[in-house]
Structure 1
Amino acid sequence: MVTDPISNLIVRIKNASDAKKPAVTIPQSKLVENVAHALKKNGYLSSVQKNNDTREIELGIVYFDGGKPRITGIERISKTSRRVYQKSSDIRVFRSGFGNTFFSTPKGIMVDMDAKKLKVGGEVLFKIW
């Protein structure tokens, strides 16, 4: 049993992209599924397919034309041992707009600029670039 499904998700995605794998599977949960759909919406994943028979989600990894992965780095911010929250007024642009910070808000999982636009804060899940 995985104690931190978000950390498991980002480590599997990073390892699969470093190994040039076309896809990766991860145990299914609502939180993981919502984060995966947010990653797909922002162009970090090519596909998200749920397999109810095996209770797993298959995630397609995005690569540029030269074979370089779209995801070059992921950093977990809020952990089970130390939760990190941020108000909407404190949200800043990450890596001059070339990266995103993902938040868990009352309105769902969203990136930094969407949270700032909707004026909602929340738990800082991870940063990706």
Structure 2
Amino acid sequence: MTDPIADYLTRLRNAIKANHRVVEVPASNLKKELTRILHEKGYILNYKFVEEGPQGTIKIALKYDSVNKVNSIKKMIRVSTPGLRQYVGYKDMPRVLNGLGIAILSTSKGVMTNKEALDLKVGGEVICYIY
């Protein structure tokens, strides 16, 4: 696997399209931080780290609307890839859907959203857009 973050996003995307309640993904520190941010921003219901085997897994409970059965995540776009890294400064911070979505960045101060990075005046690598 050459791009584990794209695999993470694809597993979430496929589980949402199949209307699954829970999805399991192989764990890494970056994926744990992405999952934490998605939970804090209300895109997923809950998550749990399972430490078994050499790598461990992350169990993610997806969030659906109880009336229409619509997921809270509409789209996930991978921006920076292993072949073409995308970096931005804090002055050029991307706005996703005019502020309704989030961009997740890997900065020198850790993984955070575009709004947090703008408050700290720090730039970094744009990992993905979520809305």
Q: TM-score, normalised by structure 2?
A: 0.93
**Cα shift at 1:62:** 1.1
Distance, in Å, in 2 between the alignment partners of 1:36 and 1:103 is: 13
Map of 1:60 onto structure 2: 61
Give me the whole-angstrom Cα distance separating, in 2, the residues matched to 1:7 and 1:21. Answer: 19
Q: State the 1:98 CA deviation.
A: 1.7
How do residues 80-91 of structure 1 correspond to structure 2 at under 5 angstroms? 80-91=82-93
Query: Are 1:9 and 1:32, in contact at CA under 8 Å, matched by a contact in 2?
Result: yes
Contact 2:94 2:103 in 1 (8 A): no
Measure how far apart 1:99 and its partner are.
1.0
**CA distance in structure 2 between the partners assigned to 1:52 and 1:92 by the alignment:** 35
Number of residue pairs aligned between Structure 1 and Structure 2: 128
Runs (4+) of structure 1 exceeding 3 A deviation are none
The aligned amino acid for 1:4 is D
Match of 2:24 in 1: 25
Listed as ranges, the matches of 1:4-19 within 5 Å are: 4-19=3-18
List per-residue Cα deviations over 1:4-49 (Å, max 9, x = no partner).
1111111111111111101100011111111111111111111121
Question: Please, which runs of 5 or more residues in structure 2 have no aligned partner?
Answer: none
**2:107 aligned with 1:99, yes or no?**
no
Give 1:16's aligned amino acid. A
% of aligned pairs identical? 30
- Please provide the CA RMSD for this pair: 1.1
In 1, the alpha carbon distance for the partners of 2:99 and 2:63 equals 19
- The amino acid across from 1:57 in the alignment is I
